[in-house]
């Protein structure tokens, strides 16, 4: 009779947990209850443990959602970045940026260097760090963003799309300068960057020194205005000219 009563009580508690949307509590109430009895915990300690495990699961779920929404090209963390291969990049500076102060202050980060020097890896790692802080993040290439906006213009959806991009706390624009942009594309990119100036954070990766940006943005006045928005209060990090990705490939070949 006692076992039957307890089973009904457990079922009832699980039903309440489902109703108030605390499924992790419902799934762990018995195991934590047994642990509480074994370790002689108080009712308050038991309740604290239940609430803590629910909060931890919600945090994991929220972070997972942020990472999916960010549309990162690959999962590359800052912990995986080999700073020994890129001695000109200060690891302490990157780790400080990963704490997220630049996002709170709406400051840009510009990563400048040749292909294979770790720009995209660093940008991705900083985006992941922001996702772990449960911030709204979006990663894209400059070409993909421009194509999306051009398509939106054809469908009279530019205002709606721009509004969506403005909601992100951090945008990473990868590969700025890899592909020359037509006037309409350059104007769209300027609009996105200009809308974020002093209001939201931005990460830009580019293989071009600022003096060569006119090769991508043919309108000199727009190019100057764009650089003014990007570099104002920016953290400018040079990743170098030697591709350590290429060097790593050559080292592997030598071993074989």
CATH number, domain at 249? 3.40.50.300
Quick one: 35 and 79 in the same domain? no
Quick one: 89 and 54 in the same domain? no
Rounded average pLDDT over 190-194:
91
Q: What is the pLDDT of residue 244?
A: 64
Quick one: 39 and 78 in the same domain? no
Quick one: 203 and 80 in the same domain? yes
Quick one: 148 and 110 in the same domain? yes
- DSSP assignment of the chain, as one string? -HHHHHHHHHHHHHHHHHHTT-HHHHHHHHHHHHHHHHTT--HHHHHHHHHHHHHHHHHHHHHHHHHHHHT-SS---STT--GGG-TTS-HHHHHHHHTTHHHHTT-EEEEEE-TTSSHHHHHHHHHHHHHHTT--EEEEEHHHHHHHHHHHHHTT-HHHHHHHHHT-SEEEEEEETSS---HHHHHHHHHHHHHHTTTSEEEEEESS-GGGGGGTS--HHHHHHHHHHHHTT-EEEEEESS-HHHHHHHHHHHH-
pTM of the model: 0.84
Domain of 44 in residue numbering reads as 2-69
Rounded average pLDDT over 228-250:
80
Q: What is the pLDDT of residue 156?
A: 93
Q: What is the pLDDT of residue 3?
A: 63
Number of domains within the chain: 2
Q: What is the pLDDT of residue 251?
A: 60
């Amino acid at each position: 009779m006692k076992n039957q009563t307890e089973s009904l009580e457990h079922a009832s508690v699980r039903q309440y947990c489902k109703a108030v949307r605390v499924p992790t509590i419902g799934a762990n109430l018995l195991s934590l209850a047994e642990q509480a009895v074994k370790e002689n915990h108080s009712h308050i300690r038991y309740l604290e443990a239940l609430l803590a495990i629910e909060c931890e699961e919600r945090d994991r779920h929220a972070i997972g959602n942020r990472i999916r929404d960010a549309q990162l090209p690959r999962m590359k963390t800052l912990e995986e970045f080999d700073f020994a291969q890129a001695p000109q990049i200060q690891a302490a500076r990157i780790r400080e940026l990963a704490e997220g102060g630049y996002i709170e202050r709406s400051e840009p980060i510009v990563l400048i260097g040749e292909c294979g020097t770790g720009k995209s890896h660093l940008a991705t790692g900083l985006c992941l760090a922001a996702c772990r802080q449960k911030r709204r993040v979006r990663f894209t290439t400059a070409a993909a963003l421009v194509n999306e906006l051009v398509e939106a213009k054809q469908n009279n959806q530019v205002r709606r799309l721009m509004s969506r991009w403005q909601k992100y706390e951090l945008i990473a624009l990868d590969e700025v300068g890899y592909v020359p942009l037509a006037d309409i594309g350059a104007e769209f990119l300027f609009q996105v960057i200009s809308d974020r100036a002093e209001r939201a954070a931005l990460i830009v990766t580019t293989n071009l020194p600022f003096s060569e940006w006119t090769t991508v943005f043919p309108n000199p006045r727009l190019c100057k205005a764009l650089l003014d928005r990007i570099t104002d209060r920016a953290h400018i990090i040079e990743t170098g000219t030697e591709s350590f990705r290429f060097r790593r490939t050559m080292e592997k070949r030598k071993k074989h």
